[in-house]
Structure formats: C-alpha cells, structure tokens
Amino acid sequence: MDYPFLEPDEHAIETYTVQYVQWLNDEWIGRGEWLQAVVTNRRLMLIPPEDGLRGKVDSVRYAEINRVWNLCLGKRDGVLLRLKNRQHLYLYVDWSQGNRLAHHLQERMTQPTRPRILPRLRFT
C-alpha cells in the first residue's frame, strides 16, 4: 500500500489495526475510531480511516519510545508504549496481533549491535 505521509527514504514494513484505549470507571474503553498503525523503518504512524482523514496523522519516532509491552487490556489484546517524556499510549490491537506489533516496534527501537572486538584493518 502506498502512503502519502512517508518521508523520503522511508518505507512501510507492516500495517496493523489499532484503537486508542483509556482506563475509565474500572474498565478499559476504546476512544475514537480504529486506526491503521503503520510500522516504518523510522517511526510508528497512526492513520485514521480515509473518510475521516483531514490530514491528521499521529506519529511516534522510535527514539521517543522508552519501552513496549504486549498486554491484555480487559479481554482484548493490546500494546502499551511508554514514551521517554513519561506519557503512556495504550492501544487495542485487532485480531490478536499485539505480540507481533510489540515485536516489530522492539526490533526498530534497538540499536544495531557493535562487535566487542573491532576487526583488524590491513594496511598495505
């Protein structure tokens, strides 16, 4: 799928269906409509449905995310994103895809590993 919101050299990796959730009166309640969560090589984009788009796309860069959990929100599969500014984003994930979404985000958050011992360079 082609997304007009992508930056140069950014590409979509996976798409999920999610909904914002909040804890209210001792239960988890979905807020708003279901969104497309697009995992890219640079950020997580939350895109509303086409009919309600109006140019509003939320995005979270991986450098802004402190930690990601897959968890059960009530009786639904969900994901918790704890941001470095101490905000929490709770999301329902459609069709038990929370584990996959959390895994994709964790992969993007981790920095590439550097070898403990650097390879020797040959000088000639």
> Is 83 within the bounds of a domain?
yes
- In this predicted model, what pLDDT tens digit does every residue of 72-96 receive, in sequence order? 998 899 999 999 999 999 999 998 8
DSSP 117: S
Q: Which amino acid is at 63?
A: A
> Is 58 within the bounds of a domain?
yes
Which residues touch 88 (CB under 8 Å, ≥6 apart)?
80, 81, 82
The H-assigned helical ranges of the chain are: 98-109
pLDDT at 11: 94
Q: What is the CATH number of the domain that holds 61?
A: 2.30.29.30
> Is 124 within the bounds of a domain?
no
CA 30, distance to chain mean position in Å, is 17
- Overall residue count recorded for the chain in this entry: 124
> Is 119 within the bounds of a domain?
no
- Please tell me the distance from the alpha carbon of residue 89 to that of residue 39, in angstroms, as a whole number: 15
pTM of the model: 0.82
Question: How many structural domains are present in the chain?
Answer: 1
